[in-house]
A and B are shown apart, each in its own frame.
Chain A
Amino acid sequence: MEEGKVFSQSLQESAAAYAIIQEKFGAAVSALDTNETMPFFEVVDPSLWTEIALFMREHPKLKFNYLACLTGIDYPVDEKLGIICNFESLGLLNHKLSVKVKCARNGGSIPSISCVWHTANWHEREAYDMFGMTFTGHPELKRILCPDDWEGYPLRKDYKVQDKYHGIKVPY
């Protein structure tokens, strides 16, 4: 953390939690982004993602037992897709931390964390449905909101809607 700046208490808690993760995984995680609205770090080596997730849930000083939200996101400039997870230690230590994981835009994959938090199961399916990254190790990765035979990934920035769906005109 930068010197000479006053941080709120919640940000200090997040930084303390991050320090434990950083100590264990070293270069596999990026530095903490200390903003007041959503402090986060990025997983530089996505192959360790499930391991980091399990560590975050199980370590006695972390205890992130609650995955509040998992958001898929598209970075067209960097040619990447990513997810953002908002964690919280619900009722135990009450600190929060967010994590970003990125993968290649075409054919990229991220390890699934649905074995660590059940919440991730449907959220990862939604991210796959909307962005098209795959989650390795997910028990049943299929579309959830769009029909199974829908073409393309709607929330990508360059998405073009298909002309016809089962003979029905789609754009209106």
Chain B
Amino acid sequence: MQELDTAVPGSVRVTRQSDKVVIIEKDLATEQMVLAMGPQHPSTHGVLKLECLTDGEVITEAEPCLGYLHRCFEKCCENVDYPAVVPYTDRLDYLAGMNSEFAYAITVEKLLDIEIPRRVEFIRVIVAELNRIASHLVAIGTYGIDLGAFTPFLFCFRDREIILGLLEWASGARMLYNYIWVGGLAYDVPADFLTRVKEFVNYFRPKALELCNLLTENEIFVKRTWGIGIMPADVAINYGWSGPMLRGSGVKWDLRRNDPYSIYPELDFKVPVPDGKHSVIGDCLSRHLVRAWEMDESLKIIEQCIDKMPSAEGFNPRSAIPKRIRPKAGEVYGRAENPRGELGFYIESDGKSTKPVRCKARSSCFVNLSAMKDLSKGQLIPDLVAIIGSIDIVLGEVDR
């Protein structure tokens, strides 16, 4: 038995035996430790590296290191024609390819100032909302895995598979579609497509509830996310957050509603924001809840689109596509609500070339992730995993 060495505080681990203090470990390091999390760490959802400075279990600073998946999207765009950019946009947010194509298409159409057939708009919204559900299913499923719940992940992927099947039927590809073109669509939807989509909507409603019971109301899951990583609304806006992240902080902001494009003004849907009863506004659980609620709203939108869809008679999905896309000189910033937030494109045209002079993608994940440094300060390491999961990053979009 040794005397407690008080000269070096913090360097020993002690315990009490009856009324004596016993040293278990001596000469413990007191300096902070650098812990590199990633780029191969599974809970970073891709090749993201976080350089954490830890003090025991507490993170004093976490610095995200990006660029492992950088593949010069913007340089590629400057070297191809406007329509040829579409496949590249698929590869930005590869979990929501339809939404990325949609954002790019409406941006170029704004610059071209052309009218799109109504049926095209309806089909675009249906496939985009289907893709939004698929993307949220991945987000929710993998978030469950991060926090130790494996079963919801399998449920999510089972249902996502049906959506991917539907989109493959329409476009020919499972994830990288090249379906929404500038000025139109690659093809009309197959004859029976809408019936099948309706079947899916009816099938998925109870499944979404089941998912809710399994994960959202699971006590372990709630304990891991409740009150973790709180982001106040004004700071979130200053950080440029958008999409479910911003709505998780209680800001009722949805580009489909607040800066409407396509046929969204005609559709009836709610913009869900946390009410503070189920979660602390702005925490990880709020962001998760917003995604779960949004899937329901997407189902509503799809149902309305199917009901209002103009007939296919005499319809040519490529009728409005210009022979040669050469916009007049000018610049445009167009954006759309993606599953992960605002995906914007800044495009500059010189009026002579069929290639954009500059095409910048404003990625929602990139901007959302930039708050990581502030969010992680003073958190425990397991909570850091919960925070990254709730940001729902897709590295294809972060690194571009």
Q: Given the complex of chains A and B, what is the CA–CA distance between A146 and B74 in angstroms? A: 13
Q: Given the complex of chains A and B, what is the CA–CA distance between A71 and B348 in angstroms? A: 11
Q: Give the residues in chain B near A40, CB-CB below 8 Å.
A: 331
Whether B399 sits at the interface, judged by CB under 8 Å, is: yes
- Whether the Cβ atoms of A154 and B75 lie closer than 8 Å is yes
- Whether the Cβ atoms of A66 and B237 lie closer than 8 Å is yes
Instruction: Say yes or no: A38-B70 contact (C-beta < 8 A), given A65-B237, A71-B360, A122-B366.
Output: no
Instruction: Say yes or no: A119-B331 contact (C-beta < 8 A), given A66-B240, A67-B240, A69-B346.
Output: no
Bin the interface of chain B by size.
35 or more
- What 1/0 flags go to A64-84 for Cβ under 8 Å of B? 011111011110000000001
- Whether the Cβ atoms of B346 and A118 lie closer than 8 Å is no
Q: Given the complex of chains A and B, what is the CA–CA distance between A143 and B70 in angstroms? A: 12
What's the least CB distance linking B229 to chain A, in Å?
16
What's the least CB distance linking A159 to chain B, in Å?
8
- Partner among A84, A91, A155 whose Cβ is within 8 Å of the Cβ of B74: A155
- Whether the Cβ atoms of B370 and A65 lie closer than 8 Å is no
- What 1/0 flags go to B230-262 for Cβ under 8 Å of A? 000011011110000000000111000010000
Whether A94 sits at the interface, judged by CB under 8 Å, is: yes
Q: Given the complex of chains A and B, what is the CA–CA distance between A155 and B400 in angstroms? A: 13
Q: Given the complex of chains A and B, what is the CA–CA distance between A145 and B70 in angstroms? A: 6
- Partner among A90, A98, A143, A155 whose Cβ is within 8 Å of the Cβ of B333: A98
- Whether the Cβ atoms of B111 and A68 lie closer than 8 Å is no
What's the least CB distance linking A26 to chain B, in Å?
25
- Whether the Cβ atoms of A121 and B370 lie closer than 8 Å is yes
What's the least CB distance linking B284 to chain A, in Å?
20
Interface centre among B240, B258, B346, B374 (most CB of A within 10 A): B240
Q: Give the residues in chain A near B66, CB-CB below 8 Å.
A: 144-145
Tell me the residues in window 361-400 of chain B with beta carbons closer than 8 Å to chain A beta carbons.
362, 366-367, 370-371, 374, 399-400
Instruction: Say yes or no: A118-B371 contact (C-beta < 8 A), given A38-B332, A68-B342, A71-B360.
Output: yes
Tell me the residues in window 103-144 of chain A with beta carbons closer than 8 Å to chain B beta carbons.
117-119, 121-123, 130, 143-144
Q: Given the complex of chains A and B, what is the CA–CA distance between A115 and B84 in angstroms? A: 38
Whether A147 sits at the interface, judged by CB under 8 Å, is: yes
- Partner among B235, B252, B258, B358 whose Cβ is within 8 Å of the Cβ of A94: B258
Whether A8 sits at the interface, judged by CB under 8 Å, is: no
- Whether the Cβ atoms of A37 and B344 lie closer than 8 Å is no
Whether B49 sits at the interface, judged by CB under 8 Å, is: no
Q: Give the residues in chain B near A37, CB-CB below 8 Å.
A: 110-111, 330-333
Q: Give the residues in chain B near A9, CB-CB below 8 Å.
A: none
Q: Given the complex of chains A and B, what is the CA–CA distance between A38 and B327 in angstroms? A: 14
Whether B72 sits at the interface, judged by CB under 8 Å, is: yes
Q: Given the complex of chains A and B, what is the CA–CA distance between A63 and B258 in angstroms? A: 17
Tell me the residues in window 59-81 of chain B with beta carbons closer than 8 Å to chain A beta carbons.
66-67, 70, 72, 74-75
Instruction: Say yes or no: A68-B239 contact (C-beta < 8 A), given A38-B331, A122-B370, A146-B67.
Output: no
- Whether the Cβ atoms of B367 and A119 lie closer than 8 Å is yes
Q: Give the residues in chain B near A123, CB-CB below 8 Å.
A: 367
- Whether the Cβ atoms of B239 and A119 lie closer than 8 Å is yes
- Whether the Cβ atoms of A117 and B240 lie closer than 8 Å is yes
Q: Give the residues in chain A near B399, CB-CB below 8 Å.
A: 145
Q: Given the complex of chains A and B, what is the CA–CA distance between A86 and B358 in angstroms? A: 15
Q: Given the complex of chains A and B, what is the CA–CA distance between A118 and B373 in angstroms? A: 11
Tell me the residues in window 330-353 of chain B with beta carbons closer than 8 Å to chain A beta carbons.
330-333, 335, 342, 344, 346, 348
Q: Given the complex of chains A and B, what is the CA–CA distance between A147 and B49 in angstroms? A: 13
- What 1/0 flags go to A52-72 for Cβ under 8 Å of B? 000000000000011111011
Question: Lowest 5 A-B CB distances belong to which pairs?
Answer: A119-B240, A69-B362, A37-B332, A145-B67, A122-B370
Complex A-B: 16 CB contacts under 8 Å:
A38-B330, A66-B237, A90-B251, A90-B253, A91-B237, A91-B258, A94-B258, A117-B238, A118-B235, A118-B239, A118-B374, A119-B238, A119-B239, A119-B370, A143-B67, A155-B74
Q: A122-B366, A155-B74 are in contact. List 12 more A-B contacts (CB 8 A).
A: A37-B331, A65-B234, A68-B335, A69-B362, A72-B360, A73-B358, A74-B358, A86-B346, A118-B371, A119-B367, A121-B370, A143-B67
